[in-house]
């Protein structure tokens, strides 16, 4: 009888442990394991660099590893849609940008997610203006020179991809600056810069930080910038408004997103951790060195910015009959 009693107690203890195991795991505060940060572009470039600057500071703040995972494809839509479909537990996040969660899903009919309905904005990280550049030895020194040149010869302007913020900037210029030019899409900034230096395209629209090494080496020069004010990196280059074309700002921003329906406490933990990470002196210095501006914006304001840019891209795309090419 005592043997059966001992067996019964042992089984009861095992069952109790199995039942309490999941409960104790569920009760662990977030995060209880490493977090994947999906970068929807290849290694290198502004988006990937941003993730790798922020990840160590987030790791230190959250006391869990932030693992950067590159998932390129479809102008950023592949990685963004993957996160949108992920379990809303906070362990799969997106390093999103104006392109991957703004203009690309707005212009691509095949996009399977909406940044408004299917993602949760955690917070903004940095922003950088788009600039228009030409070869340093070009006789074109400003926007007016480029417009004049386009009246007498064929002008081509390259950028890193259809539907990118730089692409929309080019289309806006063509429409509103009396510019007779053809847009030439590239798979990335690297190939576009190569063709600009080789004379295959007349000009290129890109982010300041991507162009900075070539500006410093005087291989290219900036003729106009599309921020609301002049960048501290290019204090002598006029803005589009200063050149007489108003009503448009060309900025590329980055931020962190999770799937829709993240629990409020998880969202708040991630948002607070991001703000702490962005106040780290090393992070601040590295962003300053790359020529970008850190975003000081609340989480609700960031979500409003994302929705606004998405809707603007949709509206402009429809008015200009712009849709993603297969």
Average pLDDT of span 97-112: 92
Query: What residue ranges do the domains of the chain occupy?
Result: 35-128+251-320, 129-243
Q: HEC states along the chain?
A: CHHHHHHHHHHHHHHHHHHHHHHHHHCCCCCCCCEEEEECCCCCHHHHHHHHHHHHHHHHHHCCCEEEEECCCHHHHHHHHHHHCCCCCCCEEEEEECHHHHHHHHHCCCCCCCCCCCEEEEEEEEEEEEEEEEECCCCCCCHHHHHHHHCCCCEEEEECCCCCHHHHHHHHHHHHCCCCEEEEECCCHHHHHHHHHHCCCCEEEEEHHHHHHHHHCCCEEEEEECCCCCCCCCCCCCECCCCCCCCCCCEEEEEEEEECCCCHHHHHHHHHHHHHHHCCHHHHHHHHHHCCEECCCCHHHHHHHHHHHHHHHHHHHHHCCCCCCC
Phi, psi of 306 (to 5 degrees): -60, -45
pLDDT at 149: 96
| End-to-end CA separation in angstroms for the chain | 76
Q: How far is CA 154 from CA 148, 150, 181, in A?
A: 11, 6, 7
> Which tokens hold the place of 175?
């429409």
- The pLDDT tens digits of the residues spanning 65-78 come to 999 999 998 888 99
Which CATH architecture fits 35-128+251-320?
A: 3-Layer(aba) Sandwich (3.40)
- Whether residue 4 has pLDDT greater than 60: no
94-122 average pLDDT score = 94
Quick one: CA dihedral 189, 193, 196, 200, positive or negative? Answer: negative
pLDDT at 25 over 50: no
Condensed to tens digits (0 to 9), the pLDDT of residues 169-199 reads 999 999 999 999 999 988 778 889 999 999 9
Phi then psi dihedrals of residue 206, to 5 deg: -160, 175
Q: Confidence band (pLDDT; 50, 70, 90) for 12?
A: very low
The answer to which of 37-51, 115-129, 218-232, 270-284 has the lowest mean pLDDT is 37-51
The answer to whether 102 touches 310, Cβ cutoff 8 Å, is yes
**CATH 3.30.56.10 correct for 129-243:** no
Residues 276-295 pLDDT 10s: 999 999 999 999 888 889 99
CB atoms within 10 A of CB 173: 26
**pLDDT confidence of residue 133:** 98
CA–CA distance, 326 with 136 (Å, rounded to integer): 34
Q: How far apart are CA 50 and CA 56, in angstroms?
A: 11
CA distance 172 to 3: 84
Tell me, yes or no, if the two domains 35-128+251-320 and 129-243 fold the same way.
yes
Beta strands 119-135 and 251-259 are antiparallel
Q: What is the mean pLDDT of residues 112-132?
A: 96
More confident residue, 26 or 326: 26
pLDDT at 302 exceeding the cut of 90: yes
Token representation of residue 120: 């949760």
CA 171, 306, 96, 124 torsion: positive or negative? positive
């Amino acid at each position: 009888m005592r043997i059966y009693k001992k067996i019964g107690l042992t089984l009861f203890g095992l069952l109790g442990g199995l039942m309490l195991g999941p409960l104790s795991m569920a009760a662990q505060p977030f995060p209880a394991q490493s977090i994947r940060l999906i970068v929807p572009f290849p290694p290198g470039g502004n988006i990937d660099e941003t993730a790798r600057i922020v990840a160590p500071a987030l790791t230190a703040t959250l006391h869990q590893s932030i693992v950067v995972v590159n998932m390129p494809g479809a102008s950023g839509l592949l990685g963004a849609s993957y996160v949108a479909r992920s379990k809303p537990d906070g362990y799969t996040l997106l390093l999103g940008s104006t392109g991957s969660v703004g203009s690309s899903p707005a212009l691509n009919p095949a996009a399977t997610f909406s940044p408004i309905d299917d993602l949760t904005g955690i917070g903004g990280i940095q922003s950088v203006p788009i600039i228009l550049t030409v070869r340093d030895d070009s006789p074109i020194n400003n926007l007016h020179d480029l417009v004049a040149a386009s009246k007498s010869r064929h002008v081509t302007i390259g950028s890193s991809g259809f539907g990118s913020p730089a692409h929309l900037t080019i289309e806006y210029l063509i429409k509103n600056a009396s510019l007779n030019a053809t847009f030439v899409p590239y798979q990335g900034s690297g190939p576009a810069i190569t063709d600009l230096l080789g004379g295959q395209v007349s000009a290129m629209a890109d982010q300041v930080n991507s162009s900075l090494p070539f500006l410093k080496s005087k291989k290219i020069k900036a003729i106009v910038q599309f921020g609301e004010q002049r960048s501290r990196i290019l204090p002598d280059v006029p803005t589009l408004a200063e050149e007489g074309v108003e009503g448009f700002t060309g900025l590329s921003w980055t931020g962190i997103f999770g799937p829709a329906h993240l629990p409020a406490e998880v969202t708040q933990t991630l948002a607070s951790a991001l703000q702490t990470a962005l106040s780290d002196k090393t992070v601040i210095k590295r962003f300053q060195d790359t020529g970008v501006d850190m975003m000081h914006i609340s989480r609700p304001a960031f979500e409003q910015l994302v929705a606004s840019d998405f809707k603007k891209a949709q509206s402009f795309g429809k008015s200009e009959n712009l849709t993603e090419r297969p």
